[in-house]
C-alpha cells in the first residue's frame, strides 16, 4: 500500500514538474499578451447580457445589469497592464500604433475606464433609458480602440 502511494505521489510530482517546465518556456511577453487577451474576453462576457438587455433581446434585470456593469468597470482597468514592451509582436492583434501613439492609446483607455465607471454608477440607480445612453457611450470608447489600435481579423 505504501509503495503504491509513493508511486502515485512520485507520478504526480513528475507531472506537476513537467507542467512547470512547459509554463517556464513561455516568456513574460507571451504571458502579457495572453493576460490582456483574456482580460478583454472576460470583459466582453459580462458586456454580453447588458448588450442584449439594451437591444431588447433580453428582459432588463436591474440586479444583473448592475453586477455586470460593476464587473466591467473593474475589468476595464486590467488589460493595460499587459501592454508591456516586447508585446508588439507574437500572437496579438495589437497594432504598432499602441506604442507609436502611446499617449493617444492611454487617453482612449482612460476614456473607456471613465465611461465604464459611469455605467456602473448609473446601474445602481437603474434608470434604463440612462443606462442605454451610457452603454452606447461606453461602446463608442471600445470602438475607438478597435478601429485605431486593433488589427482586423484575417
Split at pLDDT 50, 70, 90, the class of 154 is low
Decide if pLDDT at 60 tops 80.
yes
Q: 124: Cβ–Cβ under 8 A, 6 or more apart, which residues?
A: 66
List the domain boundaries for the chain: 27-149
Share of the chain above pLDDT 90, in %: 73
Neighbours of 16 (CB within 10 A): 10
Cα dist. 92→37, 98, 107, 123, 134 in Å? 8, 12, 21, 33, 29
- Taking the whole predicted model, whether its pTM rises above 0.85 is answered as no
Share of the chain above pLDDT 70, in %: 84
Query: According to the model, what pLDDT value does residue 16 have?
Result: 47
Average of per-residue pLDDT across 50-66 = 97
Q: Which CATH class is domain 27-149?
A: mainly alpha
* Long-range contact set of residues 100-104: C-beta below 8 Å, sequence gap at least 24: 101/148, 104/148
Amino acid at each position: 500500500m505504501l509503495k503504491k502511494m509513493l508511486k502515485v505521489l512520485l507520478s504526480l510530482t513528475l507531472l506537476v514538474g513537467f507542467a512547470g517546465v512547459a509554463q517556464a518556456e513561455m516568456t513574460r511577453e507571451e504571458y502579457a499578451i495572453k493576460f490582456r487577451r483574456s482580460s478583454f474576453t472576460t470583459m466582453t462576457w459580462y458586456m454580453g447580457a447588458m448588450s442584449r438587455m439594451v437591444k431588447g433581446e433580453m428582459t432588463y434585470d436591474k440586479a444583473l445589469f448592475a453586477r455586470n456593469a460593476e464587473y466591467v468597470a473593474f475589468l476595464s482597468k486590467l488589460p493595460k497592464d499587459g501592454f508591456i514592451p516586447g508585446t508588439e509582436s507574437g500572437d496579438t492583434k495589437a497594432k504598432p500604433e499602441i506604442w507609436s501613439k502611446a499617449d493617444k492609446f492611454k487617453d482612449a483607455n482612460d476614456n473607456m475606464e471613465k465611461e465604464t465607471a459611469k455605467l456602473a454608477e448609473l446601474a445602481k440607480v437603474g434608470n434604463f433609458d440612462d443606462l442605454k445612453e451610457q452603454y452606447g457611450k461606453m461602446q463608442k470608447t471600445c470602438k475607438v480602440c478597435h478601429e485605431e489600435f486593433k488589427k482586423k481579423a484575417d
